[in-house]
Amino acid sequence: MAVLKDRYSFTPAEPAPCARRTLRAAIAGVGRGLHSGRDVTMVLKPGAVGSGVVFCRSDLGVDVPGRFDLVTDTRLCTLIGEGAARVGTVEHLMAAVMAVGIDDLRVEVDAAELPIFDGSAAPFLFLLEAAGVVEHGGLRERIEILRTVRVEANGTFAELRPHRAGGAGFEVSLQIEFAAKAIGAQSYHFALSESGFAEEIAPARTFAMRAEIEALRAAGLARGGSLANAVVVDGEAIVNPEGLRFEDEFVRHKLLDVIGDLALAGAPISGRFVGCKTGHALNNQLLRALFADQGNYRVTNGSLAAQARQLTAA
């Protein structure tokens, strides 16, 4: 087992059936929890055929499936599960999982949050690619968007749309705007592919305003936050001495969060996402709205269809 310390290929809208994918071997990563500040050990293991992504609290012996309907908190990250049996900050790993096209994965973690590493998805992508990805049987499901689904709140919105004629894969278009002059208004369009994700999106780090960090720490949160795992903005200034990885790193990271949050749909999405100033809460609401009406989507290869019908009937 390899240890690391402190790319979803373009597919046609109507793909031929293909086998589900998982890791070739187990691999571990050790890093700091963003909010707890404690060391966290995460072990990524091959998943059983058809299991999907499952998070296991190894310190509790409790499994929590990585699904949108089990998201219980979106204020500072995307958190799944309830009470002691919860796992937070899953979005960066889920984005990497979606990018490399993994269907079944077991994620063992000994704390209530995944390690933050450097605040981006790049370390998670490295772990997945180092472990290797293999086909292991069963048929991959895919969620095709059939009509536009939109959620909005306080001047922000998030939509899932069908492909344009001849379109394929999953496309993301996002606009953000912040009062801080170092960020301002930014936009980005991205067609999801493994290589594109690795180069354009995965390295983009999470970010916070300096004043917000002080408030979070006063509330007992962000104890593990530092310039090593987040971009800190103070008005017109970037506090990190090394500066930014991209001129528009902020919108790229928000787009990374969108990909990770939508990966909790349970299967790859075939269609387009368009959003304006969206966050974890609205991203999750979008998936709930999508699955609330079977006319919004079509599931290929079947086994997810029963789950979708269950969620719609609930």
Tell me: the pLDDT tens digits for 51-80? 999 999 999 999 999 999 999 999 889 999
* Domain housing 295: 142-313
Q: 126 and 225 share a domain? A: no
Tell me: the pLDDT tens digits for 272-311? 999 999 999 999 999 999 999 999 999 987 444 444 444 4
So what's the pLDDT on residue 302? 47
Q: Which strands sit side by side in the sheet containing 85-87, from one edge to the other? A: 71-73, 79-82, 85-87
For residue 196, pLDDT beyond 90: yes
Output the six-digit token pair for 192: 């999801």
Choose between 40 and 215: higher pLDDT: 40
Domain boundary among 104, 139, 174: 139
Percent of the chain at pLDDT above 90? Answer: 79
For residue 7, pLDDT beyond 50: no
Phi (first) and psi of residue 213, to 5 degrees: -60, -45
Tell me: the pLDDT tens digits for 141-182? 999 999 999 999 999 999 999 998 877 899 999 999 999 999
pLDDT category of residue 16 using cuts at 50, 70 and 90: low
d(CA 229, CA 298): 39
Alpha-carbon torsion angle 201, 205, 211, 214, nearest 10:
140
Domain boundary among 139, 159, 191: 139
Contacts of 52 (CB under 8 A, 6+ apart): 65, 66, 67, 103, 104, 105, 266
Domain count along the chain: 2
So what's the pLDDT on residue 304? 44
Contacts of 88 (CB under 8 A, 6+ apart): 35, 73, 76, 77, 78, 79, 80, 112, 113, 114
Which of 35, 92, 253, 280 is the catalytic position? 280
Q: Is 163 a catalytic residue?
A: no
CATH of the domain at 31: 3.30.230.20
pTM above the 0.75 mark? Answer: yes
Name the strand (E) or helix (H) holding 194. Answer: helix 194-196
The partner residues of 139 in beta bridges, in order of sequence, read: 19
